[in-house]
Amino acid sequence: MAKDENIRHHHHHKKGKRKIWKYVVGFLILFFAVDAVILFKMYNDAKQAVDVTYKKVKHDSGRDNDANIKNGKPFSILLLGTDTGEYGRTYKGRSDTIMVAVVNPKTETTTLASIPRDTKVSIPGHGFNNKINAAYAYDGVSGAMNTVQSYLNVPIDHYIEMNMGGLVQLSSALGPIKVNNDLDFTNMDTHFPKGEVKIDKDNILAFTRMRYEDPRGDYGRQKRQREVLAGLVKKITTVNGVMKYQDILSALSSNMKTDITFDQMKTIASKYRQADNVKQLQLQGNGKMIDGVSYEVVPKANSDKVSQQLRRALELK
């Protein structure tokens, strides 16, 4: 009897264990099925958003940009921030923020160089005395890419254009970031003490657009813009950023244009994601009045130095 009871108990115990494993296996199948659906949805959402933002422009960097990205080579992007999308501004606008970024996966570094918007340059068809942000006003993104490439002697492979509204929406989607502020100031009724400050959707424009109270003028503003951009990029790569992918995609698709394709973005995400060490450069000049217009005149030695650093980041001679 005791032996039969033990056999029945053992058989019942084995059945119980099998039932538990059925639940476990069933849960895992369900989990991975749901995960696959979520990933598929994320993939489709991302592709749709990128398709909306994609806009090819007439420009030749002299390089095989697609092959470079496929092979994990360094590439450059012209970053343009326009003064539209906020404060009720809906016109074409000006490229108030101009930066060149070089992404190098081998050194795991993104080199970010700011160009003062009032930098005096020659623009073909528009004379020798021009501000560099006029290139965008004259000929759009294509004009800006061609002018920056010629001025710095650095191939510009791609571009990303975003307006002020996009900056606010992106900040709203990602949540607050912390940046180091080296100047105590108040702008748009918001006070920013010296030291670490929290930047969010409510104060991001006040922080990144102030220049009149800064003794460095536009150079101080450009520094704050680089700090915020680096902070936003780092937050996008976090788990929290990935979980908010729909809000991020919405902000980008509504306010951004780029000539980077979806396939290229997938490759960049897999081969370049370690290049999150940001090296900041500043093209430095001096204010000068020419024919009643204020320009930032950059000595050739200064522009050559920035050019050489960007070319070195691109692994060019």
pLDDT value for 142? 95
CA-based nearest residue to 108, from 265, 230, 271: 271
**279, 110 Cβ separation under 8 angstroms:** yes
Residues of the chain under the 70 pLDDT cut: 1-46, 49-50, 83-94, 237-246, 249, 251
Residue 223 phi, psi dihedral angles, 5° rounding: -65, -45
Angle between helices 164-174 and 245-255 (to 10 degrees): 180
Task: Give the domains, in start order, of the chain with CATH numbers.
Answer: 54-313 (3.40.630.190)
197, HSE (Cβ side, Cα atoms, 13 Å): 23
Separation CA 240–CA 137 (nearest Å)? 37
pTM, to two decimals: 0.75
pLDDT value for 232? 83
Pairing of β 95-104 and β 109-114: antiparallel
Separation CA 300–CA 284 (nearest Å)? 10
Separation CA 74–CA 258 (nearest Å)? 18
pLDDT tens digit sequence for 72-88: 999 999 989 886 544 44
Which single residue is written with the structure tokens 């780029």? 258
Separation CA 204–CA 219 (nearest Å)? 17
Which single residue is written with the structure tokens 């220049």? 211
3-state secondary structure the chain: CHHHHHHHHHHHHHHHHHHHHHHHHHHHHHHHHHHHHHHHHHHHHHHHHHHHHECCCCCCCCCCHHHHHHCCCCEEEEEEEECCCCCCCCCCCCEEEEEEEEEECCCCEEEEEECCCCEEECCCCCCCCEECCHHHHHHHHHHHHHHHHHHHCCCCCEEEEEEHHHHHHHHHHHCCEEEEECCCEEECCEEECCEEEEECCCCHHHHHHCCCCCCCCHHHHHHHHHHHHHHHHHHHCCHHHHHCHHHHHHHHHHHEEECCCHHHHHHHHHHCCCCCEEEEEECCCEEEEECCEEEEECCHHHHHHHHHHHHHHCCCC
Separation CA 77–CA 100 (nearest Å)? 6
Overall residue count recorded for the chain in this entry: 317
pLDDT value for 37? 42
pLDDT value for 94? 61
pLDDT value for 89? 43
pLDDT value for 204? 92
**78, 148 Cβ separation under 8 angstroms:** yes
pLDDT value for 6? 52
pLDDT value for 24? 53
pLDDT value for 34? 43
Separation CA 170–CA 81 (nearest Å)? 13
pLDDT value for 241? 47
